[in-house]
Structure 1
């Protein structure tokens, strides 16, 4: 299966999970993390930080990878910056990102995508790779499609 077909299949699966009445967002997010790990085996960490209250610390989970900080302060690191700015953060070299939070020592690059519901930042989808510039444009575009489906 080519990459585009794999991404389209993953989006369709995400849509199906979202339609299950008994499923909550955390369950759907957990399965999405599993799919992304299969699509991106080069990742060192994939997961979500949720924003239960506007402007307050972001809360971990669900995720795949090494243990991570339980909370990320609003505006701190790649994830907190993504939340505060409500903008995608594409960091090709985390060593050059001011305020980077080094939770996974193997991580060299990171992409964080905001998930916004209505006017509220709901969560941040974060993916990290072991290589500098570890995500290409297609990866980032598809990450956005997954994030948009959760908005």
Structure 2
């Protein structure tokens, strides 16, 4: 017979596992046989948005962050970011290598570091996190114009 405390521990462990599963988002780059899946920790991404440069008329050596024009019509999970009255910024989120968080993108360095395919998006004036997006393909400098857009990570 299973004791109450054992059952509660099992339920608690399941809740922690499901919370951990919700604490990340995945992005798929490419299509067909040429796909690649990337995963990002939401807590890390939200904190990155808070510590990244924000405000109006930002000028950095790397040109990041900059205003995101949203030509792809992405609908953000944070509804406030979908308002036409809110300017949002895009800033590179680098890929995790191993178990450590990735380093922050060196926004004030020239020549600029490779920003990689993915970005966090946050509000211009208060750093409210909107979401994570990735270019449709890893190297958007080649290929056709449709490859240069972004997809929302979910």
Same fold (TM over 0.5): no
Larger Rg: 2
- Relative to the length of structure 2, the TM-score reads 0.32
Higher relative contact order (CA 8 A, sep 6+): 2
Specify which structure has the higher proportion of helix: 1
